[in-house]
Structure 1
Amino acid sequence: MPDSLPPPPHHGVLPFAACASDDWLPAIQAMPASAFRNFGKLLQGMLPVHTDSGDVRSLSPPHERVLARALGLPAPDGLIPWAAWQHLQAGGTPADRAWAVITPCHWAMGREHATMTDPAALDLAEDESRTLLAAMQPYFETYGITLHHAEPTRWLAEGELFRHLPSASLDRVLGRNVDPWLPGAGSAGARFGAGPPQAETAPSGGSVLHEVKSVGAKAMRLLQNEMQMLLYTHAINDARAARRQLTVNSFWISDSGALPDTFHAKVQPATTLSRSLAHAAFSDDWAAYAQAWTALDAGEGARLLALQQGGATVRLSLCGERHAITFETAKTGIFSRMKRLFGQQPLPVLLEQL
């Protein structure tokens, strides 16, 4: 259903309201109905206004696509320009430049693959982060990339290589094997063993764009290797290892893309993005996940319900790892009341559709 109406004043976005893990459904089915009391009441006064259909193997997860759509950002898979957006929010101008986010991180090395550890677990100090950035900057510069420190585990990177280089969101790779998500790993099906790579087809210029992507992906793989060798012997990591802290042994590229000079963001409602479900899902802790749902219902669910009952128009986006469904406070009227009465499904049933 097209979303042509002005945005409501309040929009709640719930990432990982549903998960791809085999353990997710039993965890949800074991929860009592009271765990969803406020969200259930909230949805009784709502109708679906938009469905974002996707794939669990897409580089950009559903909640990022929902937010990009709300902001009016371009949203090709893996090329939602969040880094360019952050630069703009910090007072910069689009200037048609390409950006990405570089996240210093720790890969847990297993026998067959490396697993991405949550960067927050590094507890990286700002002076450590700035020292590492300074050491890595000359290597990035050889590829035409300039690094800018934003936060200890979030650096902005400016470089033309990022204009057409799709990158996987950190939310796709946390706690998972990094290999299928690396730049240039191939199409979704090829990355996850669903058949041989398919030839990319596009209108005129498609082969040129494919070559640009390949060059960028190769450059990033070489840079990954160079940085892993640099970081292995860096004094910062020696000191961290002596303190039994996780070392910074790699980096992750995400949020790549560019904003056109003509970009103008939409006027936005008060948007809240709740991360508690995501944190539990990344840890595969389904008891904590159930507790997070209960706490979320008592907090965010109660807040949104109170706003709706007070006459405000509220929007709620339930986001899984494949799809997202957005609901909005329904206008009064016999037709709307009948549709809500006979057409709304219980929240756990809705979640299974994500």
Structure 2
Amino acid sequence: MRSIMPADRLHLLLPFALPAAADASTALHDIQSPALDRLIARATLVERVIGEDFQRTLPHERWVARQFGALPDGASAAADEAPLAPYMLRADGGEPGSATWACVQPVHVRIAHDHLVLIDPASLDLPDDEAAILLAVARPLIEELGVRLEAPKPTRWYLSSDAFGTLAGASPLRASGRNIEIWLPHEAHSGERSRAWMKLQNEVQMAWFEHPVNEAREARGLPAVNSIWFHTQGVARPVHSPFAQVLSDAAATRGLALSAGVATSAPPRSFGELSAASRAATNGSGVTLVELDPFSAPYIEQDWARWNQAFAALQSDWFEPALAALQAGELAELRLTLCGDTGSVTLTVTRGDLRKFWRRRVLASLFIE
């Protein structure tokens, strides 16, 4: 007999699972998704957030910040706010205190014909030992400028300085693959570029130019680490969690959970691997949030064949067994938050909803124009 799931409400957060309408036919080519199709058809639409093309934050970032109460008071669901760096610092083992922090990542900026293009930092394949060497070169330059630097992990740094004021930066995945000109950090209120940041960035870029680490990388056919990227600046606020436990690999989501005093760990590979210990963490009540992110890299790279494969795996690993658990009464409620690169959709479905045969929503109706 299958065990009854004590934590019987599950919320799946899926970044980059919702292609834009223009890409949908390619992304979903030949996809067979009967379980997801039925869940969507019978679900209740909880929320649909339509973002804008040039927002600097991503829908899933805004969503988690809003769920935990990390946004400024009065911020709307579509507000271009995701001050997540202090919570990321906490997830990485640091303590943000009351200071303002920004996350800064080593990146590669590629020279195109007449502009510069940021590549996805995850594609750098930057090991910790190389990152630590580059950090050791950059640290004294940064600290000489009066900027506080914390780097519990060498591939992700955190900077704090009054000189950065209300500087707003774009999420790396928001700017990846695009001309970086409009995504560079600027003062949120005036739109002006920050001289303090440009000076710091330039110092680091010059120090890394022709550094032995980069020369060795290029000899191996890897991109040089030639710049740094500023994003998610903010101050940690007291937060609360609507979830009894959070299973995620994302630093921001884990940091928010830790700040709210909620149990957090890595997500399981499948619905069937939601372990008894993990389920018991909710004490028989509450919602378990699981953030799954197999889509980001192929979405950013427009590799729709790989995105399609990830979608098919999610169908068998999560949607089919979750639907079966709903039908058997082992799962009381399933929520899905599907995000694209500008907007998001949240749906909820219960066992009773599955009997509402007159509901006929289709996946295509969720695409963001």
SS at match of 1:317: strand
Structure 1 residue 287, shift from structure 2 partner: 2.2
More helix per residue = 1
The percentage of counterpart residues that share the same residue type is 30
1:252 paired residue among 209, 229, 240: 229
Aligned partners of 2:53, 2:33: CA distance in 1, in Å? 25
Q: Which position in structure 2 is the counterpart of 1:286?
A: 304
Where does 1:85-234 land on structure 2 (aligned, <5 Å)?
85-89=87-91, 94-162=96-164, 164-184=166-186, 210=189, 214=192, 217-234=194-211
Instruction: State yes or no: 1:277 paired with 2:295.
Output: yes
- Measure, in 2, the Cα distance between the counterparts of 1:147 and 1:234: 21
Confirm whether residue 316 of structure 1 aligns to residue 336 of structure 2. yes
TM-score (norm 1): 0.78
Which residue is equivalent to 1:349?
A: 365
Corresponding position of 2:11:
11
Helix, strand or coil at the partner of 1:136: helix
Q: What's the counterpart of residue 57 of structure 1?
A: 54
Query: Contact 2:103–2:158 (CA<8 Å) still a contact in 1?
Result: yes
Contact 2:298/2:306 (CA < 8 Å) preserved in 1? yes
Give the alignment's TM-score, normalised by structure 2.
Answer: 0.75
In 2: Cα distance, 1:21 partner to 1:219 partner: 40
Measure the CA separation in 1 of the matches of 2:59 and 2:8.
20
* Superposition deviation, residue 8 in structure 1: 7.8
Report the equivalent of 1:264: 239
The whole-number CA distance in structure 1 between the counterparts of 2:39 and 2:21 is 27
In structure 2, what is the Cα distance between the partners aligned to 1:115 and 1:8?
45
Shift of 1:28: 4.5
Counterparts of 1:52 and 1:29 in 2: how far apart (Å)? Answer: 22
Asked if the contact 2:28–2:308 (Cα under 8 Å) also holds between the matched residues in 1, the reply is no
The Cα shift of 1:13 comes to 1.4
Deviations 1:143-187 (A, max 9, x none): 432222233422222333456221111221222222221112x8x
- How far residue 272 of structure 1 moved from its aligned partner, in angstroms, is 2.3
- Look up the equivalent residue of 1:285 and give its one-letter code: D
Q: Aligned pair 1:325/2:345, yes or no?
A: yes
Task: Go from structure 1 to structure 2 and tell me whether the alpha carbon gap of 1:134 and 1:273 turns closer, same or farther (over 3 Å shift).
Answer: same
1:64 is matched by which residue type in structure 2?
E
Q: What is the root-mean-square deviation in Å for CA atoms of aligned residues? A: 2.8
CA drift at 1:142: 4.2
Q: 1:71 aligns with which of 68, 90, 93?
A: 68
What is the match of residue 281 of structure 2?
Answer: none
Question: 1:292 and 1:305, CA in 2 relative to 1: closer, same or farther beyond 3 A?
Answer: same
**1:104-146 per-position Cα deviation (integer Å, ceiling 9, x unaligned):** 0111111211222222332222222122112112232244322
CA shift at 1:94, angstroms? 4.9
Does structure 1 retain, via aligned residues, the 8 Å contact 2:119–2:177? Answer: yes
Following TM superposition, by how much is the alpha carbon of 1:80 offset from its aligned partner in structure 2, in angstroms? 1.6
TM-aligned CA deviation for residue 342 of structure 1: 3.6
CA contact 2:62–2:81 (8 Å) conserved in 1: no
Residue 67 of structure 1: CA displacement? Answer: 1.5
CA contact (8 A) 1:144 1:160 kept: no
Deviations 1:32-62 (A, max 9, x none): 4xx2212122234421122222112111111
> Aligned in 2, Cα 1:344/1:169: closer, same or farther, shift over 3 Å?
farther
Q: Is the 8 A contact 1:15 1:275 kept in 2?
A: yes
1:36 to 2:36 alignment: no
What amino acid does structure 1 have at the position aligned with 2:48?
T
1:78–1:256: 8 Å Cα contact kept in structure 2? Answer: no
Structure 2 residue corresponding to 1:297, chosen from 315, 319, 342: 315
Secondary structure of 2:62's match? helix
- How far apart are the structure 1 equivalents of 2:185 and 2:96? 24
Q: How many residues are paired up?
A: 313
Unaligned runs of 5+ in 1: 1-6, 187-208
What is the identity, as a one-letter code, of the residue corresponding to 2:222? Answer: Q
